[in-house]
Structure 1
């Protein structure tokens, strides 16, 4: 039954990992900057919210009436993500040292790294893992005490604050006095794309999906198409008014678009294959490992983004296949997935 339900989710996980690589490589920038911008800011921006929603769904679908059992599962989940985060932090430590050696070590840079480790990721693409830990803690505690409706309201309120900070950053930087407050925010929390403002909304959507019945696939697909069209319009508006920049990601229409997309993927029934489970593992390893290759490849192909993209996918997939194949022989590799 699990296979028939979630095969589409595992396929989508893999596709989402490929889209995350796009965000960091800009594969189409040499072909068309406009197309590259819209592709990344619409299609690719669905990837990380998708990961959050799916994480929330699979955690909360096992919710029990036994509070102690829920607490045990929560602690186990948080520890698993933390362990994964710590391992990849160590793997990226040479790159971190490389970065700080290039820019010059200082006491401030050490404090900045400690701040980033807890809030913004020990390496820039790893931000998803601490955001998942923090966001899950927020959603779990609120849901346990106040229920679904209140959790959704708080999550949306946090997302709305984050949206105003994230999307309108170019405006806040120019306004007198407001720029001082915004500068203080960026020096303390760095970004609203984190476990406080970004993660809870999408984890709460996963909770909502876990506690409600599926919409018909046709309804979900039509609703997603409408929301995605409105997302494109939203991105176009921000581009026209000069609010679009690299870290823009907390769009309003991303919320319903991701909800209806995951609703559709959960409802669609496809014959399950063992390969789908492997895709699940592959997606995580591609997500966590791809920057290892991106940094090196751009040194050899500085003006060939599309080439770097395909080589990154090939090398990340090769590493994923190696880990999945050898994890039975070397159980320590299970810690990477």
Structure 2
């Protein structure tokens, strides 16, 4: 998601995958289909769509590991510094912006800016460790998780412990599941929400790293089978866990989720020329920028649709496509200004 190369070295289909995954995340955060197409007042279609989009973040992590593998293998400590320092800066900047910008405009109008913001700041302080791993807004968890995963891999390489990569990543993932979606069954204690931090990101980045290091590929047919198996396992788990009062749409990661991300990755890798167009390359290099700002634009369009009384399918359309368009235009405009270095990289 964040590793940038020259267009001549890029794989068109993977760059297209970045854009599709980013759009899926925007739709996920827009909470589409949750107020209509109901069955017994339950948003069945909305919950299914919610889980369908869960391939996106694993795909981004896998992609990051895949692209960083050569540099991380040859100069691990130097690569940790050069890769993670800009990400940390972006995380700080957008955390500050997210803490400062109001979410509920009506509340600001009625009670003032500080009243609206104080409520959010107080909510974050209720679980400060979790807030530390997320930053100023929930979606920013991706950045610290990626930094930690890359750092773990780089340090293990530096200390000649490459054989520990997969075991450590699997142990972290299992603990993340036990303390996350399966916590109702396991009663495992965790200091913070296990989606954050190293628990899931490490395995996903290691997978991408190992796929490139070992030069593993799959045919499009086998990749599609792997993808469908991943979706089948993920959805079966999500449905089964509803018997234990775990909401169907709660899950970021389950046992089948890595297979979803790997399946999408291999499917795109098997069709390298898919999406080969200048627009793909132009937009894909801005995906990190779109990611860090998109949720603030979701907030903007939530307020606009609320004030205008727009509901149902039109509300979803305005929020999703408004956010995708506005966040993309914002990043493209900022890229032409001195603010680019401060806001993005």
Q: TM-score, normalised by structure 2?
A: 0.81
CA contact (8 A) 1:11 1:279 kept: no
Change in Cα spacing, 1:253 to 1:319, as seen in structure 2 (3 Å) is closer
Choose the corresponding residue for 1:169, options 173, 183, 192.
183
Spell out, residue by residue over 1:4-38, the C-alpha distance to the aligned partner (whole angstroms, 9 max, x if none): 85211111111111211222222111223111112
- Does the CA contact (< 8 Å) of 2:26 and 2:323 recur in 1? no
What corresponds to 2:159 in structure 1? 145
1:29-68 alpha-carbon deviations (Å, 9 max, x no partner): 1223111112212x21111111111111111133454xxx
Q: 2:154, 2:230 → 1: CA distance? A: 28
Q: Distance in 2 between matches of 1:72 and 1:242?
A: 46
Higher relative contact order (CA 8 A, sep 6+): 1
User: Which residue in 2 is equivalent to 1:40?
Assistant: 50
| Whole-angstrom distance in 1 between the partners of 2:160 and 2:244 | 40
Structure 1 runs of 4+ aligned residues shifted over 4 Å read 1-5, 96-100, 108-113
The alignment status of 1:323 with 2:331, answered yes or no, reads yes
User: Corresponding residue for 1:198?
Assistant: 200
Contact (CA 8 Å) 1:4, 1:270: kept in 2 or not? no
In the alignment, which residue of structure 1 is the partner of 2:107?
A: none
Aligned counterpart in structure 2 of residue 30 of structure 1, from 26, 35, 53: 35
- Residue pairs, 1:220-231, within 5 angstroms: 220-231=223-234
Q: Distance in 2 between matches of 1:36 and 1:234?
A: 17
> SS of 2:136's equivalent?
coil
* Structure 1 match to 2:236: 233
SS in 1 for 2:180: helix
Summarize the alignment of residues 278-317 of structure 1 with structure 2, pairs less than 5 Å apart.
Answer: 278-302=282-306, 304=311, 306-312=313-319, 313-317=321-325
Count, aligned residues: 317
Query: Per the alignment, do residues 119 and 315 of structure 1 end up closer, same or farther by CA in structure 2, a change over 3 Å counting?
Result: closer
Tell me the distance in 1 between the aligned counterparts of 2:332 and 2:265: 26
1:51 and 1:19, CA in 2 relative to 1: closer, same or farther beyond 3 A?
Answer: same
Deviates more, 1:155-164 or 1:284-293: 284-293
Cα distance change of structure 1 residues 124 and 307 upon mapping to structure 2, 3 Å threshold? farther
Distance 1:193 1:218 in 2: 31
Q: Partner of 1:122: helix, strand, or coil?
A: coil
Take 2:256 and 2:121, find their aligned partners in 1: how far apart are those partners?
A: 41
Query: Superposed, which structure 2 residues align to 1:40-59 within 5 Å?
Result: 40-41=50-51, 43-59=52-68
- In structure 1, the partner of 2:89 is 83
- Name whichever of 303-312 and 46-55 sits farther off: 303-312
